[in-house]
A and B are shown apart, each in its own frame.
Chain A
Amino acid sequence: MAGEAQSVQETEFAEAAARARKLFASESEAESLLREMMAEEEGRVAEAIVFAEVLVPMLARRLAVQPPAPHLRAAPPAPRTGPAEARGIADFIDEMLAQDRLGSH
């Protein structure tokens, strides 16, 4: 995704910026406006990232799925000596499906 973004920045965005500069009386005015727009968009992207980082865990908890960090193993299971009778068969199936989604199987 980062590579694709960079490609767009270097091609389509660069062409659009060049066309926009021609509309301004002075080059300095054009550059100032472009910097202002880039800073505003970078801020929006940063806010979106923070929002996703907060929202995704909330959604995962509601859907009973824990998203993994890519470089970590699957989340450890319940304590090995825990009382299984307190957890139903459906809970075991949930664990299995979570493992399947993480690619443990």
Chain B
Amino acid sequence: MTTATIEKPPAAPAQPLAPLSAPPARTGSAKSSVLLLGLDLGTNKSCVLAGPPGSTDITVSKVLPSVVGYVRDGIVDGIITGNARILYGEDALRQMLHVELVAPLAEGVISRPEAARDFMLHIRQLADPSGRAEIRTVVGVPANAGEPAREAIRRTAQGVFARILLIPEPFLAALGFRDDSRVRQSGYVDPVVNSLFIDIGGGTSDLCLVQGYFPTRDDQISIPFAGDAIDELLYNELGRTYPNNGLSRITVREIKEAHAYVGPSRKPLDIKVVIGGKSRTLELGDAIGSACNTLIDRIYPALTALIASASSDSVVTLLQNIIVTGGGSQIRGIDTVLQKRLADDGYESPKVRLAGQDFQRYVAIGALKAARAARENQWQVLLE
């Protein structure tokens, strides 16, 4: 079984953190109320859901690009809305000519601590504009993320959130995908009871066996090959096929997101782009298909390894509950290609399905569910 552990050395010096034991009482806190957050910190897109404890209300639900834009010096007043010095998400991308764009995460983990902190502060502001709430946040982490990566999140969140709980993303995806209203219905297969989740993000593709207990390390495989790697392959192939095309990586990503597919070639795939102010049509069928099919080649061995580790009593049902989520679930044909490959290799009646239109939110939905269910002594207190 291939196990890849993602670790990024933290840049900031260590700060003391409270132990994982029961936190001190905060009944006398100056904060006015408690707000729970479910946070999916993605390499390319992040999702935050917020709501009060003891309720199913969701007060904030937002998907935003994981990018911070620091306004360049010398920008004339009035060019940037409100003359802000830092922009976030879509605002930063819209003003990319006037800002230095910084991605706080790479391969699913924090790589730019200062930008990550600014991004978290922005998320806090989105969730609690008053700034008065005591915020408790469940944050999704890539499967098998190492302790340095987890510690980087905790350190970045100090002074931003009052309490934190880190939970692997694939499990949160299963939790979020579960239809709680149908859990006791006859015939409903609870994804938390017996399923295999494939969460394809920007930095990592995480596979996780979820079978009624919290997944162990052996139940999770994280592959550092996902959306960003496909972008890079496509970008390089375009450079070979159409030298000096002048297309930016952002434009290449947009092309991928609009036309990505796996399986047999869909050539010709004619795509209109603007290069140097002039409209051109590029044939990209094989380039896109080749780049995306590489993802299948990377994921499939991990998929079969996890299937092999499931008990014989559970594997037949498990094969009926393979779910693809994350941005990669939007790649056309990914469900049928994986399903066919399993069937061709002799697996019994496999069924691979897509998570559906909420694919960007399931990790955050699961994180908010976890935040609502977490006991007091399960939270880690972050010292300010």
Contact = CB atoms under 8 A, between A and B. Distances in A.
A94 interface: yes
Contact of A79 (B183, B192, B212, B374): B212
Interface in A63-85: 74, 77-85
Contact of A77 (B214, B313, B370): B214
Among B165, B194, B373, find the residue whose CB has the most chain A CB atoms closer than 10 A: B373
Contact of B213 (A82, A88, A105): A82
A93 B378 contact: yes
Nearest to A89: B373
B184 interface: yes
A89 B147 CA distance: 23
A81 B214 contact: no
Given A84-B190, A94-B378, A74 B213 contact: no
Interface stretch (A28-36, A52-60, A95-103): A95-103
B184 A85 contact: yes
A81 B211 contact: yes
A99 B214 contact: yes
B383 interface: no
B314 A80 contact: yes
Contacts of B194: 80-81
Contact of A78 (B175, B212, B314): B212
Chain B's interface: helix, strand, loop or mixed, by majority? loop
A80 B183 CA distance: 17
Interface residues of B, number: 32
A77 B314 CA distance: 15
Given A85-B183, A93-B373, A80 B213 contact: yes
Given A93-B165, A93-B370, A96-B167, A81 B20 contact: no
Contacts of B145: 105
A105 B144 CA distance: 6
B278 interface: no
Nearest to B145: A105
A104 interface: yes
A1 interface: no
A90 B167 CA distance: 12
29 contacts: A74-B216, A77-B214, A78-B213, A80-B194, A80-B313, A81-B193, A81-B194, A81-B212, A84-B190, A84-B213, A85-B183, A85-B193, A87-B212, A88-B373, A89-B369, A89-B374, A90-B375, A90-B378, A92-B214, A93-B370, A93-B373, A93-B374, A93-B378, A95-B213, A96-B214, A105-B144, A105-B145, A105-B150, A105-B217
Given A81-B311, A92-B171, A99-B216, 12 more contacts: A79-B212, A81-B212, A83-B193, A84-B193, A93-B165, A93-B374, A94-B378, A96-B168, A99-B217, A105-B144, A105-B147, A105-B150
